[in-house]
Chains A and B, each alone.
Chain A
Amino acid sequence: MNVLIGHYNYWIVIFLMMAGLYVVIAQGNLVKKIVGLNIFQASVFILFISMGKVEGGTAPIVTQGVSLYSNPLPHVLILTAIVVGVATTALALALVVRINEAYCSVEEDEIHQQDQSF
């Protein structure tokens, strides 16, 4: 029972993560793949942040009379990771715009077909 209560949040996060990854792998639409990638990454962020949570702690900003804080390190890592994520997204979307101009399509299999016939 303890295992269930102690870990259920991680399982939810894993489910979200895998939903995102599934969209990335299974979908053929390039925009949808990017959305999936973002969901995958956002869920990894939740995993990190939930491991930083401390029972009874407050936000990691030093205040008088408080001694228990959440772990600030995962927060810092995820701040950096979010920035990395948005940088990747911007680049991926720019690529999609260019691909659409070159192939007039954002469907993976249509692009593949055009490459083969060419």
Chain B
Amino acid sequence: MITQHLPILQVIIPLLTAPVCLLVQDRRFAWGVSLAASWTAFLIAALLLDQTLEQGVISYELGGWSTPWGIEYRVDTVNAFVLLIVTAISSAVLLFAQRSVAREILSTRIPLFYTTFMLCLAGLLGIAVTGDVFNLFVFMEISALSSYTLIALSEQRRALTAAYQYLFMGTIGATFILIGIGLLYMMTGTLNMQDLSQRLPAVTATRTVETAFAFLTVGISIKLALVPLHLWLPNAYAYAPSVVSAFIAATATKVAFYVLLRFMFTIFGASFAFKSMPLSFIFMALALAAVFAGSTAAIFQDNIKRLLAYSSIAQIGYMILGISFASVTGLTAAILHLFNHALMKGALFLSLGCVVYRLGMANMEQMRGLGRLMPWTMAAFVIGGLSLIGVPLTVGFISKWYLVVGALERGWWPLAVAVLVASLLSLVYVWRIVEAAYFQPPSPVRAGEIREAPRSMLLPTWALIIANLYFGIDTSLTVGVASQAARQLLGVSE
């Protein structure tokens, strides 16, 4: 009986935790409850993925209203996969959070941190699971408002301006999405995604629908930090508390990417998006710009969190590149990279969190000699970095492999070359850190004081690193799910 309610429980359990944390106002309790809720959500996501793989699409009618009248929750392979990665990251991050948060956030604010974190998680899950476009907007705003708050929780004053910049870009993006939703409603009279996809073909030739498509794409691109709308991202990631950077970097842009996939393929349909609109070309150009601009900017960063943030911009470029192929392989690569990049960035930001825990900040200067002082942390960072470059036996290799195959399938070999060249750029910025950590002596002042990070922080970091390696070797689960998801999105029968 409970299994049929899984889609709603997925969102409600984290949502319920938020007011409970506020009521009790106890640090340890808030942490425990949040952790339990997050692990439960992870379990639910795994069950949902299993169900969708076996039975196909799950539909859940909220309030018992039949589909176009009420709000529907609709889970297929694509969003079940997204739910799984989001809950997995939040579970690892929360495990890490207890020690890290105590160091970086004022103790009186810690219960509020967990409240906000759970709201953010519920918002992201709500975006991923819903089948109604306006409901998507509402949950997008929940996750957005809570991310602004999470970033502003940091003690650095630049976090305030970063949150403010993010707030402005995010709100403009959300308003654009709202305009797009309004125009779609105007032409079809419905808000349900499934219903929209059936009613849209009758009116796709109209200029109003084209405008709606443009507004939705631009709005989501802001949330996704696609070049040239990425300006909010580096500061937001760099000045947020470490746990928040890890969580937001690994999930928020991924969910935004999912929203893009959903609108483009499920609602408008691939034929409209790529045949009536010159989207393939625009996306390819923007993706390449993102990959090269992001990687190049990353090379010149001194703040390591900022470096990783620019690298995230580049990675978003890879995902968009996958979409621009408009083929099953390309989409498989994009969805794979969504999952894999979440694993990499989660692990990398967590290991940086360990560094910040011991050293207070993470600039190039602090990294010197850390290879000997914090061997486990830096080993994790190096493996994560290798994965970012795309070395075989890591997840990064798998997604780049499919990307290259997708490009060659289309006969676009210069793109395949571009992907390889961009990997060299990421080698440069990862190497800079490795060099500082292993080949430079630590400054003698602190050599004695720095110890390895506590075990409760190393454990989740290494869990993600092991996932990076495991899914780099045994690809049956990820590739299987991703290719099935890609087929579902493109409407290709199996």
CA A73 to CA B69, docked complex, whole Å: 10
B residues in contact with A92, CB < 8 Å: 164, 167-168, 171
B residues in contact with A77, CB < 8 Å: 134, 182, 185
A37 contacts B164, C-beta separation under 8 Å: no
Q: A-B pairs with the 8 shortest C-beta distances? A: A102-B157, A84-B141, A95-B164, A99-B160, A51-B186, A48-B182, A98-B160, A88-B171
CA A103 to CA B134, docked complex, whole Å: 38
Pick the interface stretch among B172-180, B330-338, B352-360: B172-180
Residues in A66-114 with C-beta less than 8 Å from chain B = 73-74, 77, 80-81, 84, 87-88, 91-92, 95-96, 98-99, 102-103, 111
B152 contacts A41, C-beta separation under 8 Å: no
A residues in contact with B149, CB < 8 Å: 91
Interface membership of B145, Cβ < 8 A = yes
Contact with A along B164-199 (1 / 0, CB 8 A): 100110011011001100100110000100000000
Interface of chain A: mostly helix, strand, loop or mixed: helix
A47 contacts B172, C-beta separation under 8 Å: no
Given contacts A24-B168, A33-B168, A98-B152, contact A88 B141 (CB under 8 A): yes
Interface membership of B310, Cβ < 8 A = no
Q: How far is the CB of A42 from chain B (nearest CB, A)?
A: 11
Interface membership of B163, Cβ < 8 A = yes
Given contacts A40-B175, A44-B182, contact A91 B138 (CB under 8 A): no
CA A48 to CA B180, docked complex, whole Å: 11
Contact of A44 among B134, B161, B167, B179 (CB under 8 A): B179
Q: How far is the CB of A72 from chain B (nearest CB, A)?
A: 12
Interface membership of B42, Cβ < 8 A = no
A80 contacts B157, C-beta separation under 8 Å: no
Given contacts A44-B179, A47-B179, A115-B158, contact A96 B138 (CB under 8 A): no
A91 contacts B179, C-beta separation under 8 Å: no
CA A72 to CA B141, docked complex, whole Å: 23
Q: How far is the CB of A56 from chain B (nearest CB, A)?
A: 19
A residues in contact with B185, CB < 8 Å: 51, 73-74, 77
Contact of B163 among A40, A47, A95, A111 (CB under 8 A): A95
Interface membership of B60, Cβ < 8 A = no
Interface size on A, residues (CB 8 A): 29
B residues in contact with A48, CB < 8 Å: 182
CA A37 to CA B165, docked complex, whole Å: 13
A80 contacts B186, C-beta separation under 8 Å: no
CA A102 to CA B141, docked complex, whole Å: 27
Contact of B172 among A21, A30, A96 (CB under 8 A): A21
Q: How far is the CB of B2 from chain A (nearest CB, A)?
A: 30
CA A111 to CA B174, docked complex, whole Å: 26
Q: How far is the CB of B350 from chain A (nearest CB, A)?
A: 27
Interface of chain B: mostly helix, strand, loop or mixed: helix
A residues in contact with B157, CB < 8 Å: 99, 102-103
Q: Which residue of A lies closest to B157 (CB)?
A: A102
CA A94 to CA B374, docked complex, whole Å: 39
Q: List 24 A-B residue pairs with CB atoms under 8 Å apart, sorted by A's residue number.
A: A21-B172, A24-B168, A30-B164, A40-B172, A44-B175, A44-B178, A47-B179, A51-B185, A73-B185, A73-B191, A77-B185, A81-B137, A81-B178, A91-B148, A92-B164, A92-B167, A92-B168, A92-B171, A95-B148, A95-B164, A99-B157, A99-B160, A99-B161, A99-B164
A residues in contact with B138, CB < 8 Å: 80, 84
20 further interface pairs, Cβ-Cβ under 8 Å (given A37-B168, A87-B145): A30-B164, A37-B172, A41-B171, A44-B182, A48-B182, A81-B178, A84-B174, A88-B145, A88-B167, A88-B171, A91-B145, A91-B148, A91-B149, A95-B163, A95-B164, A98-B152, A99-B157, A99-B164, A102-B157, A102-B160
Q: How far is the CB of B237 from chain A (nearest CB, A)?
A: 16
B residues in contact with A44, CB < 8 Å: 175, 178-179, 182
A41 contacts B175, C-beta separation under 8 Å: yes
CA A87 to CA B142, docked complex, whole Å: 10
B182 contacts A37, C-beta separation under 8 Å: no
Q: How far is the CB of B165 from chain A (nearest CB, A)?
A: 9
Contact with B along A41-61 (1 / 0, CB 8 A): 100100110010000000000
CA A96 to CA B163, docked complex, whole Å: 10
B residues in contact with A99, CB < 8 Å: 157, 160-161, 164
A residues in contact with B161, CB < 8 Å: 99, 103, 111, 115
CA A110 to CA B149, docked complex, whole Å: 23
A51 contacts B172, C-beta separation under 8 Å: no
Q: Which residue of A lies closest to B140 (CB)?
A: A84
Q: How far is the CB of A115 from chain B (nearest CB, A)?
A: 6
Q: How far is the CB of B347 from chain A (nearest CB, A)?
A: 30
CA A103 to CA B159, docked complex, whole Å: 12
A residues in contact with B145, CB < 8 Å: 87-88, 91
CA A96 to CA B137, docked complex, whole Å: 25
